[in-house]
Amino acid sequence: MAKLVLANKKFSFENKEKAKRAAELEIANKKLAFDNREKAKRAAELAIANVKLAYENKEKAKRAAELEIANKKLAFDNREKAKRAAELVIANEKLAFENKEKAKRAAELEIANIKLVYENKEKAKRAAELVIANKKLAFENKEKAKRAAELEIANKKLAFENKEKAKRVDELAFSNTILSTQQETSIDGILVVDENGTILSYNQHFLKMWGIATDTVKLKSDRWVLRPVADKVKNPEEFTGKIVYLRKTQDETSRDELALKDGRILDCYSAPMFDDKKIYHGRVWYFRDITKEKEIDKAKSEFISVASHQLKTPLAGIKWISELLLGTKIAKPSDKQKEFLTDIHFSNERMINLVDSLLNISHIETGKGFDIVKKKTDVLEIINEVLKENKQLVIKKNARIINKCPGSTQKIFLSIDGDKIKQVFGNLINNAIKYSDNKGKVEISCENKSKEIVFRIKNGGMGIPQEQQKKVFEKFFRADNASAQEADGTGLGLYIAKAIAVAHGGKLWFKSVQNKETTFYFALPQNKEQV
């Protein structure tokens, strides 16, 4: 009986401990419910279960108290108490088993809660990764859309460029057709080669002109084509040397007359081909048969020469007679007769000057009678002589002559044809005075350079129109403003002057500003004989 009481006390103590643990489990469950919101429902259910368990434990404690009373009562009835004790043992074992199961379920629930928290963290992590992936995908889609838009723009641009290229190809084809037509219908023989001498283009007139077979041109090398050309010219070494020179100097333009062994004369012109970037791409050759033109020019020059020679004799007679009538050896003419005779004399002088000019041109063009006889001559003396001869014109124009060349104590001796050089200075100085402003000044100067002496004749006056300056040294040319001011003039003086300058190895050029001034430059080579 004492053992039963002791067992009951022990059982009661265990129930109290269980109740205490149940209360602690309830607190833990409440805390778990607070930490795991997502599992609040299950945590709430667990709390209810724990409360229920606590209630049951209380009931059991009550029953244990009642049992204690009953045990005291059973002291009087052992069998009933023993029976009830046995039943109690079974109930306690069952309760212990149930408590173990509940503890096991609580442990499983705690593990489940931990697992659930971990899964939630993993889900949150995956959700964050998914958000990042979505943002990255959105950015990539945006970039793809941007690239697609750029690609569309590029495709439109490419389509436009292709359209423009097709247009340019059509234009180029049309230009090539025009060029081919111009080339084949040209009276010139045309040959085009690249920078390596490879033949790019030619026309049939070129082959016919030089008697070149088509098979030779198909070799595509200008060496095979220009070789038969060199064989037909009178001076093949000079022609071949010119070709070599032009290959070395790519920017050089050349124009020559070629005399052929069969008597023909060809005008040969060659020019380089450069693109917009100044890159050399080859050379074009033009050959034109000018034999007939040369024959006509020769006949014309010979006619002028013959006619001029025939005119000199009667003009000389008229001059002699007019001078005789104006002199004192015969009866003195009346004032009216003297006026007529003076007009005859001056008109005759103009005719003689014109004939002399025509003869000079004939000599220049034919090479006959235009001999340069050089001897040591003082150029300053020639200039002074020309100034004396133009003294009356200076007075008429009220001009002021400024001669900056060295004074009478100095001399400049050069190896020249004095008469012809005097003709050059005569033309330049006479023009400077004639076309200067009224009361204007004419300035003459010279500069001693290392290889030449350059003479300058400058005047202030009408100048030469810009658009007509390239024609100044052509035969029979006179500027419009000069013709309006001075009706007299043949337009031959500067042509002859330049021919004389070139024949001496010199140069003649000018600079002019219309309605302001004109400066002519006349350069003669030095020959180490200057004093």
Cα–Cα distance for residue pair 40/407, rounded to 1 Å: 129
> Among 366, 400, 419, which residue terminates a domain?
366
Q: Is residue 236 part of a domain?
A: yes
Q: pLDDT tens track of the chain, all 531 residues? A: 677 767 777 777 887 888 788 778 878 777 876 777 776 677 677 778 878 888 888 888 888 888 788 777 777 777 766 777 788 889 889 998 999 999 899 889 999 999 999 999 999 999 999 999 999 999 999 999 999 999 999 999 998 999 888 888 877 777 666 766 666 677 788 888 888 888 888 888 888 888 888 777 776 777 777 777 888 888 888 888 888 888 888 888 888 888 888 889 989 999 999 988 889 989 998 999 898 887 777 766 666 655 555 665 666 666 666 666 666 566 677 777 777 767 776 676 667 666 666 666 666 666 555 677 889 999 999 999 999 989 988 998 888 999 988 765 688 899 998 988 998 999 999 999 988 887 788 999 999 888 899 999 999 888 889 898 898 888 777 887 776 666 566 778 888 899 889 989 999 999 999 888 999 999 999 865 444
257 touches 266 (CB < 8 A): yes
> Among 262, 289, 316, which residue terminates a domain?
289
Q: What are the strands, taking DSSP E only, across 405-506?
A: 413-416, 441-448, 452-460
Q: Give the pLDDT of residue 433.
A: 92
* SS3 (DSSP) at 212: coil
* Residues 225 and 328 reside in one and the same domain: no
219: alpha, beta or left, given left = phi > 0 and alpha = psi -120 to 50? Answer: alpha
Q: Is residue 162 part of a domain?
A: no
Among 241, 239, 211, which Cα is nearest to 225's? 211
Q: Is residue 75 part of a domain?
A: yes
Q: Is residue 507 part of a domain?
A: yes
464 touches 478 (CB < 8 A): no
Sheet holding 400-403, edge to edge: 400-403, 441-448, 452-460, 517-525, 507-513
320 touches 283 (CB < 8 A): no
Each residue of 257-271: pLDDT tens digit? Answer: 888 888 899 899 999
* Residues 397 and 515 reside in one and the same domain: yes
Tokens found for residue 121: 């963290």
Phi, psi of 259 (to 5 degrees): -90, 120
Cβ neighbours around 458 below 10 Å, total: 20
Among 382, 371, 388, 445, which Cα is nearest to 414's? 382
* Residues 41 and 61 reside in one and the same domain: yes
Domain with 319, as residue range(s), is 305-366
* Residues 333 and 232 reside in one and the same domain: no
Q: Give the pLDDT of residue 304.
A: 61
* Residues 41 and 141 reside in one and the same domain: yes
Count CA within 13 A, CB hemisphere, residue 26.
Answer: 15
* Residues 314 and 279 reside in one and the same domain: no
* Residues 11 and 141 reside in one and the same domain: yes
Q: What is the pTM of this model?
A: 0.46
Q: Is residue 163 part of a domain?
A: no
Residue 167: enclosing H or E segment and its boundaries?
A: helix 78-185
Q: Give the pLDDT of residue 153.
A: 92
* SS3 (DSSP) at 488: coil
469 touches 432 (CB < 8 A): no
Q: What is the dihedral of CA 436, 439, 444, 445, to 10 degrees?
A: -120
Q: Is residue 172 part of a domain?
A: no
Q: Are strands 400-403 and 441-448 parallel, antiparallel or unpaired?
A: parallel
54: alpha, beta or left, given left = phi > 0 and alpha = psi -120 to 50? Answer: alpha
Per the structure, the count of domains in the chain is 4
Single-letter residue type at 122: E
* Residues 391 and 498 reside in one and the same domain: yes
* SS3 (DSSP) at 523: strand
Cα–Cα distance for residue pair 201/189, rounded to 1 Å: 11
Cα–Cα distance for residue pair 135/83, rounded to 1 Å: 76
* Residues 315 and 284 reside in one and the same domain: no
Each residue of 132-186: pLDDT tens digit? Answer: 999 999 999 999 999 999 999 999 999 899 988 888 887 777 766 676 666 667 7
> Among 237, 263, 289, which residue terminates a domain?
289
CATH number for the domain harbouring residue 257: 3.30.450.20
* Residues 358 and 475 reside in one and the same domain: no
* Residues 395 and 312 reside in one and the same domain: no
* Residues 407 and 471 reside in one and the same domain: yes
Cα–Cα distance for residue pair 243/237, rounded to 1 Å: 10
Tokens found for residue 230: 């060199």
Packing angle between helix 40-74 and helix 78-185, nearest 10 degrees?
170
Can you give the C-alpha Rg of the chain in angstroms?
A: 63
Phi, psi of 92 (to 5 degrees): -65, -40
Q: Is residue 158 part of a domain?
A: no
Q: Give the pLDDT of residue 443.
A: 93
CA distances to 12, 347, 395, 417, 466 from 434, rounded to whole Å, are 156, 19, 11, 26, 20
CATH number for the domain harbouring residue 446: 3.30.565.10
Q: Give the pLDDT of residue 343.
A: 74
